[in-house]
Amino acid sequence: MADEPVFIFPATYHTEADAQLDYAAVKELHSAGVIGTYDAAVVTKDADGQVNVHKREKPTQHGAWTGVAVADVIGHFWNGMSRKDVMELGEMLDEGTAALLIVGKSKLDKELEKAEKEAQ
Q: Are 10 and 103 in contact (CB under 8 A)?
A: no
d(CA 41, CA 20): 10
**pLDDT of 106 over the 60 cut:** yes
Check residue 28 and give left, alpha or beta (phi > 0: left; psi -120 to 50: alpha): alpha
**pLDDT value of residue 18:** 95
35-45: strand order across its sheet:
6-13, 98-106, 35-45, 51-57
**pLDDT value of residue 64:** 46
Mean pLDDT for the stretch of residues 60-80: 48
**pLDDT value of residue 8:** 80
Q: What is the pTM of this model?
A: 0.69
Looking at the DSSP bridge assignments, the partners of residue 12 are 99
Looking at the DSSP bridge assignments, the partners of residue 6 are 105
Residue 47 class from Cβ within 10 Å (0-12 exposed, 13-18 middle, 19+ buried)?
exposed
12-16, 41-45, 104-108, 113-117: which has the highest mean pLDDT?
12-16
Q: Is 44 helix (H, G, I), strand (E, B) or coil?
A: strand
